[in-house]
Structure 1
């Protein structure tokens, strides 16, 4: 669970250290005090998108650090080479230039890798989640999350990809006669042009090296002559080879008189032999220098041919030859397209059957899960003061798609005697919030995430319905850590822990503080929520009664 959160220089929060306990924790405060900023900070350490606009004015970076306790040994740690510790520390720094630095237990990770850990530590549910229920494109994903059918979807996905690949290949080979003839003429011209050049792999590099030598032939020749003269000597001087030979002879004579000269003699002898070998190689290289204007002209002409092909077919001879192979294959495919198409269509027929079998297996799993999910959601909604609601997952069969062969839409009736209709047409804001809460509770039973955060999901809920929502969150907190940003006194009264988010001005700057409330503090905050800015004996008494339950 989330145990500690340190926030530094995010929006109006200059610095805050927040301790969280298990159970049900609420965050309350005036509108604009900074409650959502705390949620944004938590989102940041979960790897969600963070903007440099979050950084407090005048600061060069923002920092969020969280400590999670009781973290299970997730596969994520091994996969990403991060040391596992049940007390996991996550830190993220956001800089003005847009750079982000993320660490988990001291190891640097990317934002995308951090996000993969974050979804296994905390689930955040905001007002936009309720709005997403209106979009039927999301309903299948909700159902699949409940069904836990990853293996079936993966099996279907592989089979569908085979079908899609075969369809693309068939489409590529299916063309009218005029288009086919034009393409064949183009390919034949390209093949003939490349074949006529008779390219060899690496030929362009060899020719460019040779051209460079020929273009600098005079400099090379003069340099080699100088090297030969230095090594062999000229008419009036001895070269290095001759001088070393004389030195070796002199030391050889000295070694006859004293063994102390033997080591020195051997070293000079080795140098002499190395220089003599090098001198011979230099002389051979000089004698091997041959060049002519005709050869340079031939190389330039050959490179011109290669450069023309480069502009059309690739940057190197290897690329051009690879294009030649590809063009030959495509021409062969077109010329024998009818036979090839028949083979592909036979493969496609088998692949489509396999994909349909997988799609039907997935559909049966989804329908069974839809029935179970509907029953669970109805049970949850009854507990949330919606006893007469009807809920159903309606299926519509489709062609094979990436997600299967099903379209799913959630239908409901909120009142007795009303026919089931698409959710977007019948659910009010308060009803939608409770439906989303019911779905989140049902889905939470299927995952191992220990911390759930609800960011003003009670919008549009009041009265008895608000009390039911509060009781539901309280019951969820019996086996999960639940954090809730709320404006409802019913929720705040049932919390195990209460944090007050408050905003003050000092020296022309705005500061936000986070304060754990004791019983007296909770009573005054509840009185404020009930009655507004003016706290009276009546509102205090009401708050006290709510806290007593």
Structure 2
């Protein structure tokens, strides 16, 4: 529960420290005293959106802190996963809003992001504001109220998982069907690409370089032949002249005769001998090259044609031959996919039919679950409304089945008949402001029994209500507070007298500044505040007696 709230520099509230009881806490005060600011402060520590305009004029920042005690096990476990401990079941939430628009959130003094604060806040407090009544005016929201009461989360999540799978398959089929129109053209285009590249039978990405090298040699074969022949003749000689190779051998032989006499000649002899052998090898290789340089005209023509073909294909699908080969691979893959798309569409169609059957079955199960829950829901809400001075109200949950949607196959709307003899009609068409407030209170109470949120806040639940109906709302809030903490902002004495803890919100002018304070009222203070609510500022002794009687009657 929320045990204590500290506010500093929030709008007209300079400083306020408020302690709450675990039961029924009521806030009263003049219109404009700052009751809405108090609710905004609580919203801030619960992670709701706030703006820099809420910072008190002249202050650098606003600070709002809330101490929560007796934290539930599920909240403690959720925080433990984030590395935040709750010592002795206590939780300290802080929000700082700077005048420049920045904001800092903390849980137990540890800085956290706003989304985590909002998650934890949603588990700690449930706030009902005046805008919540508008939910009743929007029929599309009614299904969420029924599902919340029915605790249908598990069924809905399972249904939605299958529903999303069905949607994804349907999207794939639509995509393939749309592509069907251009498929034939693309297949012909791919077949042409594949045929054109395959016709060249390219197996080596370096072939273009190899062809270019061979062509260069062929073009210069005459000059190369002459150079090779001349070099060979110099090495091997002819009939008239000795070659270098033979001369080197003779040098070696001359030295060989004296190597045993002069040791220094031995290494020179060996070097000349090796050189002679190497020169002989070079001469033989030159002869072999010379034989190979006989250019085949057909080969030369083929090399030119091949080079031209490779250059054209690279220009079209390159720039490199490796890029051409990659284009071929991708084209073959795409062609296989397109030619197999008919089988893919059929397989997807079969999967769609299977999922449609599955989703329809789950939707029917969910629909029946809602129908059974609606019976209990109507009974409980009707009992609550009867207690809240609406004994003749008749509530009907209109549940119609139609096409499959994210919420199943149902459309749900709450219809009411507020008077005997009238047919049930949409709430938006017949409910007054006071009736909306009581219907929403009844719904909140019935749904609250299903969750584990310890603190309920009602911001002006008494809108449009007076007399006995207001007294019944007060009694209902007091009844709820015996199991959960209740905080209520009210303008009605019938509700305020029911509180266990009565807090007065006052606006005062201190110096040249307006300041709002919050103080706890004792019995005497409550007497004057109840009298003021009932009769205005001109409080008489009779008003005070009536207020005292009201307070004592509650006791």
For residues 192 and 34 of structure 1, the distance between their equivalents in structure 2, rounded to whole angstroms, comes to 82
Q: What residue number does 1:84 align with?
A: 86
Deviation at 1:395, TM superposition (A): 0.7
What TM-score do you get using the length of structure 1 for normalisation? 0.74
**Alpha-carbon displacement from aligned partner over 1:225-283 (angstroms, at most 9, x marks no partner):** xxxxxxxxxxxxxxxxxxxxxxxxxxxxxxxxxxxxxxxxxxxxxxxxxxxxxxxxxxx
For residues 29 and 159 of structure 1, what CA distance do their matches in structure 2 show?
Answer: 53
Contact 1:410 1:423 in 2 (8 A): yes
Q: 1:364 aligns with which of 356, 364, 368?
A: 368
Q: Which residue of 2 aligns with 1:173?
A: 176
Deviation, 1:454, is 0.2
Residue of 546, 549, 555 corresponding to 1:545: 549
Q: Among residues 500, 503, 509, which one is paired with 2:507 in the alignment?
A: 503
Change (3 A) 1:327 1:398: farther
2:466 corresponds to 1:479: no
Partners of 1:32 and 1:545 in 2: how far apart?
A: 28
* 1:122 maps to 2:113: no
Which residue is equivalent to 2:31? 31
> Closer, same or farther in 2 for the Cα pair 1:66/1:334, shift >3 Å?
same
Q: 1:138-176: CA deviations, max 9, x gaps?
A: 101101110111111111111111101101101101127
2:452 equivalent in structure 1 = 448
Task: Tell me the CA shift for residue 545 of structure 1.
Answer: 1.6
Alignment check: 8 A CA contact 1:173 1:334 kept = no
CA distance in structure 2 between the aligned counterparts of 1:25 and 1:192, rounded to whole angstroms: 85
The answer to whether the Cα contact below 8 Å between 1:524 and 1:543 also exists between their aligned partners in 2 is: yes
- CA-based RMSD of the aligned residues comes to 3.1
- The equivalent residue for 1:40 is 40
Deviation at 1:417, TM superposition (A): 0.2
Which of 99, 102, 107 is matched with 1:104 structurally?
107
Q: Residue 173 of structure 1 contacts residue 333 of structure 1 at CA under 8 Å; is this kept in 2?
A: no
- TM-aligned CA deviation for residue 81 of structure 1: 1.8
- Residue 544 of structure 1 deviates from its aligned partner by 1.3
1:358: how far off?
A: 1.2
Change over 3 Å in CA distance of 1:473–1:330 after alignment to 2: farther
CA–CA distance in 1 between the matches of 2:529 and 2:405?
53
Aligned to 2:421, the other structure's residue is in SS state: coil
Q: Give the secondary structure class of the aligned counterpart of 1:48.
A: coil
Q: C-alpha offsets along residues 506-544 of structure 1, whole Å, 9 cap, x if unaligned?
A: 222110000100111000011111111221222212211
Alignment partners' CA distance in 2, 1:329 and 1:391 = 63
1:272 aligned residue: none
Q: Which residue of structure 2 aligns with residue 426 of structure 1?
A: 430
Give, in angstroms, the shift of residue 191 of structure 1.
10
Change (3 A) 1:193 1:386: farther
Superposed displacement of residue 53, structure 1: 1.2
The offset of 1:40, in angstroms, is: 0.6
Deviation sequence 1:419-458 (CA, Å, 0-9, x none) = 0111111111111110000000001101111110000011
- Which secondary structure does the structure 2 equivalent of 1:102 belong to? strand
1:374-397 Cα offsets, whole Å, 9 max, x none, are 100000001001111000111111
1:384 equivalent in structure 2: 388
Shift of 1:354: 1.1
SS in 2 for 1:40: helix
Q: How does 1:218-229 map to 2 (within 5 A)?
A: none
**How big is each residue's C-alpha offset from its partner over 1:330-354, in whole Å with a ceiling of 9 and x where there is no partner?**
6544433322111100011111111
Structure 2 segments unaligned to the other structure (5+ residues): 206-314
Unaligned runs of 5+ in 1: 201-304, 310-316
Cα 1:486–1:178 change in 2 (3 A) is: same
Using structure 2 for the length normalisation, give the TM-score.
0.73
**Alignment equivalent of 1:351, drawn from 350, 355, 378:** 355
Mark the CA change 1:166 to 1:544 in structure 2 (over 3 Å): closer, same or farther.
same
Of 134, 137, 142, which residue of structure 2 is paired with 1:139? 142
Task: Name 2:465's counterpart in structure 1.
Answer: 461
Matched with 1:284 is none
Asked if structure 2 preserves the Cα contact closer than 8 Å seen for 1:3 and 1:21, the reply is yes
Aligned equivalents of 2:335, 2:452: Cα separation in 1? 55
SS of 1:494's partner is coil
Q: Deviations over 1:277-334 (max 9, x none)?
A: xxxxxxxxxxxxxxxxxxxxxxxxxxxx9xx99xxxxxxx99xx9x999987665444
User: Which position in structure 1 is the counterpart of 2:292?
Assistant: none
Equivalenced residue count is 436
More off after superposition, 391-400 vs 89-98: 89-98
